[in-house]
Amino acid sequence: MMAHIIVNEKYNLYGVHFEIVVIKTKLISDCSILAFSDFQDCDENNNLVFDFVFSRFNDLEYNLGDVYSICCGDMYGESYFHNSNKIVIKGVDGCPNYDLYNRTKKFYYIYGNHDMKHITQYTGQDNAIHIGDIDSPVQINEKINIIGIDGIKSSKNIVPSHNPNYDSCLEQKLMNNPYIFVSHDIPFVDDISFNPRKYGNKEYTKLINKHKPTINIFGHCRMKKPMTIINNVLFLNVDSRFILLLPS
């Protein structure tokens, strides 16, 4: 098998629902990758979740200090309680300076549709690269490179949250033959067990099938399963998930 799940744990902590997933795959070598997105809670709750996740991975004997981390956007909201109901305001700041990012070897990130671009940048941190803001893939190691695209496809002209030129930007990036392609928006993945609600951008899927990145990682909408393989492309949905990819 190209990839198989060896850990899949579901949690509800501090009002946050999420999964911890470990996948072994032949598609990566000489590195491990942790991908996640859409933790749209207040930073206090997210930091508690991240502390738990690091502790849990440590219990499973995985050292995240040697891991490359990838964020697919929508990582921060603000929340308060009104008449015992939790109210969440999304889009306060898309990339707060969570300690999680500095605990991994290198941090690659894009912005989602609820993120406010340029509120927090990581230009002063050597371990952080905004892969939605580059034209050519960057190397993770000798075999694997990575690039991404910010936002989602939309007729609204609010960048990066909505991008009216999404398809052309998408193709320009995919033409550079990235090994890993990262987005917030979702491709239409024709697998009923993975995508029973049939969500997704069909133009995105056409471009994926045309240019064939080896791994496509995305967030935005939660798929029923964390992974599927279609036409030799490994699709990973990391909405409310921490997915650790390990070489097999």
Sign of the Cα pseudo-torsion (94, 107, 145, 6, in order): negative
- How many helices and strands in the chain, by DSSP H and E? 4, 17
Domains of the chain, start order: 3-247 (3.60.21.10)
pLDDT at 94 over 60: no
pLDDT of residue 123: 47
- Mean pLDDT confidence for 198-225: 93
pLDDT of residue 74: 86
pLDDT at 80 over 60: no
Q: Which helix (H) or strand (E) holds 186?
A: none
* Percentage of residues in the chain having pLDDT higher than 90: 54
pLDDT at 248 over 80: yes
Q: Give the tens place of pLDDT for each residue, 142-156.
A: 999 999 999 888 776
pLDDT of residue 87: 58
pLDDT of residue 147: 98
Residue 205, SS3 per DSSP: helix
pLDDT of residue 124: 45
- Mean pLDDT confidence for 47-68: 92
Supply 219's token pair: 């967030």
State the pLDDT confidence band at 90, using cuts at 50, 70 and 90: low
Do 91 and 114 contact (CB within 8 A), yes or no?
Answer: yes
Supply 34's token pair: 């942790």
Lowest mean pLDDT among 4-18, 100-114, 134-148, 178-192: 100-114
Give me the chain's average pLDDT, please: 86
Q: Which helix (H) or strand (E) holds 34?
A: strand 33-36
Supply 37's token pair: 């997105």
pLDDT at 209 over 50: yes
- Mean pLDDT confidence for 191-219: 92
The position carrying tokens 């995919």 is 174
- Mean pLDDT confidence for 198-204: 89
pLDDT of residue 99: 64
